[in-house]
Amino acid sequence: MKKPTIVAIDDEIDFIDMLEDYFKLRGYEINVASKAAQGIELINNKKPDIVILDLKMPGINGEEFLGLLKSKQPKTKVVFVSAFDDAGKTKARILNAGAYAYMDKPLNSLKELEKVINKAFKG
């Protein structure tokens, strides 16, 4: 079974390194970036199925990034993973703007994230 290609963009280096290790070990093609500009370049080059995205990053925030991505590659599914909390207002806005899912940091398990990614890829 084909696995989705993934680009993960987060300014927390330890988090994206952990994602990269976890998904590569399980046979996924994953590319990571710690800056939005790097992420845009990766997305343009790799045309991923799934983008894992943080909400609060220097330069461009995740919500702006989502709009940019959806205008260029509308079929790419976006899964937000963020520690930002404003009583769910931003989460609702992002999901309405086209994000596939929004998960809170810290994640309970990477397996849970993997399930969400595979579900997004299949449907």
Count of beta carbons in the 10 Å neighbourhood of residue 110: 14
| Distance in angstroms (rounded) separating the CA atoms of residues 36 and 21 | 20
60 CB contacts (<8 Å, ≥6 apart)?
36, 68
* DSSP 8-state secondary structure symbol assigned to residue 70: H
CA distance linking residue 46 with residue 34, whole number of Å: 16
Q: If DSSP codes are grouped into helix, strand and coil, which group holds residue 103?
A: strand
Task: Calculate Rg over the CA atoms of the chain.
Answer: 13
Which domains occur in the chain, in start order?
Answer: 5-122 (3.40.50.2300)
pLDDT tens column, 95-113: 999 999 999 999 999 999 9
Confidence of residue 87 (pLDDT cuts 50, 70, 90): confident
* pLDDT tens per residue across span 49-70: 999 999 988 888 889 999 999 9
Long-range contacts at 62-65 (CB < 8 A, ≥ 24 apart): 62/94, 63/90, 63/93, 63/94, 63/97, 65/9, 65/36, 65/39, 65/40
Give CA 100 to chain center in angstroms: 10
pLDDT of res. 88 = 81
